[in-house]
Structure 1
Amino acid sequence: MTETAGSGFEFKVLGPFEVLRDGVPVPIRAAKLRTLLVSLLLDANKTVPVETLMDHLWGETPPGGARNTLQNYVLRCRHLLGGTGDDGPLLTCPRGYLLRVDDDRVDLHRFDTLTGRARAAAAAGSMETASALLAEALRSWRGEPLQDIPSETLRREVAPVLAERRLDALQSRIEADLALDRHEEVLPELRRLTAAHPLRERFWAQRMLALYRSGRQAEALRCHHSVREILAEELGVDCADGWTVSRRRSSWRRSGWGRSRQRRSSTGSTTGSGCWPTTTPRTPPAITGPWEASSAGATTCAPSTSGCSGRGCRSSPAGSTWRRPSRCAPVRASTATTSSTFWRPWRTSRSWS
C-alpha cells in the first residue's frame, strides 16, 4: 500500500519554510534539499518533471552529472519522509518525481481549499461564510513566501504568483465584509493596504466605498484624487472607467437615490444591506448624471429655456422627482454620452437647486 507524507508531517511554504513532525520542527539544513522539497510540495500529488527540478536547483547552468546529483537528493528526501521505493510517499515516475501528501498537511493547499469554498459560498449569497473562510485561509500566511529558499527561479517566478493569490483572497474577504456592512471595521486595514500597494486600484476603490458608507464623503473624494495622481505619476494613465461609474453612482445618491444602511423593498421590508434598493418605485436614470434620464425621455434645451446657459443641455423629463443643478453645463450634441462632457458636481462649486 502506497503511503503519503501526511502521517505526522506538516509542511509550511507560505512564509519561512518549515517541516514539522508531530508538531516538532524537523531541521533541514541542506539548501538544495530544501529547494527540492519545496519544488515537490508546490505541485504535491502531481508529477514534477526532472527538467523543472533541475531548473529550480541550478537555474540555466546545471553542473555536469546534475541528474545523478538530483537522484541523490531524492534518496535523502525519502529517508527524511520515511519509506523507500514505490511504497514510500516520494515516487519515481517516467518523467520525474511525485510526492504524495494529504492536502490538509500543506498550508498552500489548505489555503487553496478554503478560498475555493469561500468562492462557492459567495456565489450562493452566503457572505458571512465566505468572509469567515477567507479569514481562516489568510491566517495560513506567516510572511513572504520562499524568501529563505536559495532558488532564484522560485523567487522570481513562483513567489510573486503566491503573493498575488494572497492579495486576491484579501481583496475578496474585504469585499465580503463590505457586503456585510463592516465598512468601519475594514477602514484601518484598507489604509495600510493602499499605502503598501498604491498601484492596486481595487483597494483604493474599497477604501473610498468604506469611507462613503461611513459618512466621510470628503475623505473618499480625497482618496480619489490621491490615486489619480499616483497612477498618473507612476504609470502615466488615468483611472479606469470603473472609477467614473462609481463617481456617477455617488452623484445619484446625493440627488435622492441615497444608500440606506438596510435595503428595503417597496413594501418597506428589510432585505439586507447593499448599495441599491432591491426594488424602487421607478428605475434609476439610465445615463450617468443626477440630472439626466434615459435617452428616450431626455430633451435638449433650447437657448431660450429658463435657467439654461443657452449653449445646449439636457433637462429632466416631465414628472421627474429628482433634482438637477441650478445651472446647466454644456453637453456636446454629438457626444452626449461621453463621460468627459458631463457636468460633474465634484469638480465645480455650483450647488443643487
Structure 2
Amino acid sequence: MIEFRLLGPLEVRRCGGSPSLGGLKQQTLLAYLCLHQNSQVSIDGLTEAIWGERAPASARKNVQLYVSRLRQLIGREHPTPRLVTTGGGYMLAAEPGAVDLDRCHGLWRLGRQHLQEGADERAGELFNEAIGLWRGPSLTGLAQTVVMQAEAARLEQLRITLLADYFEARLNVGQHADVIPDLVRLVALHPHQEELRRHLMLALWRSGQRHEALATYRQGYHLMVNELGIEPNRRLRLLHRAVLADGAEPALRPLAT
C-alpha cells in the first residue's frame, strides 16, 4: 500500500521507502491533490495552487507533465491510489487511510464522539493517536502561493483543535496537574487560541493556583482586546467568573460539531 503524508514534510511511503517526489512545483501538485483526495481538482485550481497569479503560458502543459511523472512514481499495479484524469482536471483516487490527513480526520471525529458521550479516557487515546500523525509543520516549503498558505493554515488549525480536544479529555479524567507544563508552553506559542487558554486556566485553578489562573485570563483578555479588538469568548468568560467567585465550575461539555 502507498501512503501519502501531508502532516509534516510531504512524503510518499512505498514498500518501506520514500521515493523522490521531484521539484517543489510537482510536489505542490501532489500535495494539493492529496488535500482534496477523491475530489476532482480543475487544472485552473492546480495552476493557482502551484503558481498563484504568476502562472506561465506553459502552465497547463507543465501540469500534464507533473501528473505523468507522478503516475510513474505511484505505479499502476493497484486499483488505488491512482491519479485519474477527469473532465476538467485530475483526482487522486485513494482508499480510506491512504492519506494521513484522512486518517487524522477519522480519529478526530471518533474521538469527538466519545468526548460528547463522556468516554473521556478513550477520547484522549484517539486524539493522541491523531496528534501522533504529525511529523512537523505541514506543507513545509510548499506554501508558496495564497492557496497553499491557506491550506497550511487550515492544517495548523486542525492540529491546534486536536490538541485542545486532547487536553479537554485529560482534564475530564482529573489529570489537571500533569497537563500544566504542556499547556503553558502551548499558550505561549498560540496566545490567541482561547480553548488552550481556557484549559490552562482550569488546570491551574483545579491545582490550587487560583491567582495564576486569573493572571492567565487577564493576559489573554488584553491580547484579544488590544490586538484583535474583541473580547474573549463566552466559555472563557464563564470560567473567569467562576474562578473569580471561587465557586462551582461551569458545566460545559465540548461544543457539538
Superposed displacement of residue 228, structure 1? 2.4
Structure 1 stretch displaced more, 30-39 or 111-120: 30-39
Task: Provide the rounded CA distance (Å) in 2 between the counterparts of 1:76 and 1:61.
Answer: 23
5+ long unaligned stretches in structure 1: 1-6, 260-274, 277-353
Q: Secondary structure of 1:99's match?
A: strand
Partner of 1:216: 209
Q: Secondary structure of 1:28's match?
A: coil
Partner of 1:186: 179
Task: Provide the rounded CA distance (Å) in 1 between the counterparts of 2:22 and 2:179.
Answer: 41
Q: Counterpart amino acid of 1:128? A: E
Task: Provide the rounded CA distance (Å) in 1 between the counterparts of 2:16 and 2:87.
Answer: 34
**Alignment deviations for residues 51-93 of structure 1 (CA, whole Å, 9 cap, x no partner):** 1111112212322232222222211111111129x99821111
Structure with greater helix share of residues = 2
Task: Provide the rounded CA distance (Å) in 2 between the counterparts of 1:55 and 1:237.
Answer: 33
Q: Counterpart amino acid of 1:191? A: V
Q: Counterpart amino acid of 2:33? A: L
Indicate the structure (1 or 2) with the bigger Cα radius of gyration.
Answer: 1
Q: Counterpart amino acid of 2:177? A: E
Change (3 A) 1:57 1:126: same
Alignment check: 8 A CA contact 1:31 1:149 kept: yes
Picking from 50, 56, 60, the partner of 2:49 is 56
Task: Provide the rounded CA distance (Å) in 2 between the counterparts of 1:243 and 1:65.
Answer: 52
Picking from 149, 161, 165, the partner of 2:158 is 165
Runs of 4+ in 1 over 6 A off after TM superposition: none
Change (3 A) 1:225 1:64: closer
Partner of 1:66: 59
Higher relative contact order (CA 8 A, sep 6+): 2
Partner of 1:231: 224
Task: Provide the rounded CA distance (Å) in 2 between the counterparts of 1:172 and 1:150.
Answer: 27
TM-score (norm 2): 0.88
Q: Counterpart amino acid of 1:60? A: E
Alignment check: 8 A CA contact 1:122 1:130 kept: yes
Change (3 A) 1:109 1:244: closer
Task: Provide the rounded CA distance (Å) in 2 between the counterparts of 1:142 and 1:154.
Answer: 22
Superposed displacement of residue 237, structure 1? 4.1
5+ long unaligned stretches in structure 2: 252-257
**Alignment deviations for residues 253-287 of structure 1 (CA, whole Å, 9 cap, x no partner):** 55xxx57xxxxxxxxxxxxxxx77xxxxxxxxxxx
Q: Counterpart amino acid of 1:185? A: D
Picking from 16, 26, 30, the partner of 1:23 is 16
RMSD value, Cα: 2.2
2:137 is equivalent to residue 133 of structure 1 = no
Change (3 A) 1:241 1:33: closer
Alignment check: 8 A CA contact 2:80 2:93 kept: no
Alignment check: 8 A CA contact 2:81 2:95 kept: no
Q: Counterpart amino acid of 2:186? A: L
Task: Provide the rounded CA distance (Å) in 1 between the counterparts of 2:41 and 2:188.
Answer: 38
Q: Secondary structure of 2:125's match?
A: helix
Matched residues, percent identical?
A: 33
Alignment check: 8 A CA contact 1:14 1:146 kept: yes
Alignment check: 8 A CA contact 1:134 1:173 kept: yes
Task: Provide the rounded CA distance (Å) in 2 between the counterparts of 1:54 and 1:252.
Answer: 56
Partner of 1:105: 98
TM-score (norm 1): 0.66
Partner of 1:287: none
Partner of 1:122: 115
Picking from 63, 83, 86, the partner of 2:76 is 83
Task: Provide the rounded CA distance (Å) in 2 between the counterparts of 1:72 and 1:248.
Answer: 60
2:197 is equivalent to residue 204 of structure 1 = yes
Change (3 A) 1:126 1:54: same
Q: Counterpart amino acid of 1:115? A: W
Task: Provide the rounded CA distance (Å) in 2 between the counterparts of 1:239 and 1:41.
Answer: 35
